[in-house]
Amino acid sequence: MTSYKAFRIHRDNAQHSAGIEELELQAPDQGEILIRVHYSSINYKDALAGTGKAQILRRYPLTGGIDACGEVAESSDKRFKAGDSVIVTGYELSATVDGGYAEYLRVPAEWAVPLPEGLSASQAMTLGTAGFTAALALHRMEMNGQRPDMGPVLVTGATGGVGCLAVNIFDGEGFDVHAVTGKSDQHAYLEHLGAQEVLQREQVSTYHHALERGLWGGAVDNVGGEMLSSITRKIRPWGNIAAIGLAGGHELNTTVMPFILRGVSLLGVDSAGCPYGIREEIWQRLANDLKPRHLDDILSQTVSMEQLPEVFDQMLAGQIMGRTLVTL
């Protein structure tokens, strides 16, 4: 086979276009392993890139998709052989190199993590970057001293991919979880996933003072902007905030008071550039102690490459909950 199908993104003279194209297999100098992709997923970043609503790609044209899981078809690296199942997420996928919305993907061997025993390929991509990010947030918070007895952990954007998985993962690790959502009809769903309390956005995003009453032992924030500004003021002493997303804005309006008077820590979570050793450890944990108990309930739909544009629009309009699996 010398050609394959891929979801290709173009930008010519500021005009965006995207769709399925037939491509030639990449030369071996583009990476030591060639993967026959079985599954990918849809993240918020994928929807932005696929619709051209944000400048995610740094060169054009490119194949979309920041996640991929499949079987090694060719390898010139001794770490992998044909038939091995591998996961690739983040790095430069769908930023400067072709991503996972393709029947085949060639990448450097050091980007590929062996699929851990205990996870199927479809489960790995139901998790994808979203699940990896949620687990990485917990890892960073634990490394900085976060414990269940410090108080409940707040999860914002809780019906999104990262949010749903964070609720389920933190609950599974013994934390009381308070979930924040703008969808008033999804309280029962979040409680099913493990939230002990569900809050509306306006209950969390308002503040009046540099320091407010300490309500939560820590937080996983998918929103940024005023939501994160408010949260910094309401974390109990020595709590941690894992900053993951910026759906509500990239500006942070806060003071040093929470950090120097309560010892609060603001931890950045960079899943794309995570070091390989930590990356491998997180995937092993996702196959074991951090594997979400309600992963099947978090998977909301499975779609094909042909359906990607429609699903991108739905995601950006806030119409999708949980995770979307892409089958290739």
Structure confidence by residue, pLDDT tens digits, 76-133: 999 999 999 999 999 999 999 999 999 999 999 999 999 999 999 999 999 999 999 9
- For the whole model, what pTM was predicted? 0.94
Residues 143, 264, single domain; the answer is yes
Q: What pLDDT, on the 0 to 100 scale, is given for residue 1?
A: 59
Q: What is the DSSP letter of 25?
A: P
Taking alpha carbons only, the member of 94, 68, 90, 71 closest to residue 8 is 94
Mind listing the pLDDT tens digit for each residue in 223-250? 999 999 999 999 999 999 999 988 778 8
Among 268, 286, 313, residue at a domain's last position: 268
Mean pLDDT of 66-84: 96
Residues 110, 10, single domain; the answer is yes
Q: Are residues 184 and 301 both part of a single domain?
A: no
Are 149 and 200 in the same domain?
yes
- 286, 124, 66, 183 alpha-carbon torsion, rounded to 10°: -80
The pLDDT tens digits of the residues spanning 139-148 come to 999 999 999 9
Model confidence pLDDT, tens digit, residues 25-35: 877 777 899 99
Instruction: Look up the CATH number of the domain holding residue 213.
Output: 3.40.50.720
Asked if the structure places residue 281 within a domain, the reply is no
In a domain, 274, yes or no: no
Question: For tokens 């979307």, what's the residue?
Answer: 324
**Are 307 and 187 contained in the same domain?**
no
Asked whether residue 142 falls in the same domain as residue 242, the answer is: yes
Is the separation of the CB atoms in 113 and 132 below 8 Å? no
- Does some domain include residue 172? yes
Residues 94 and 213 in one domain: no
Do 93 and 143 belong together in one domain? no
Based on the domain organization, do 313 and 250 belong to the same domain?
no
Angstrom distance (rounded) from CA 158 to CA 168 = 10
Domain around 214: 129-268
Instruction: Please indicate, yes or no, whether residues 238 and 133 belong to a single structural domain of this protein.
Output: yes
- Whether 283 is covered by a domain: the verdict is no
Q: Give the pLDDT confidence score for residue 328 in this predicted structure.
A: 92
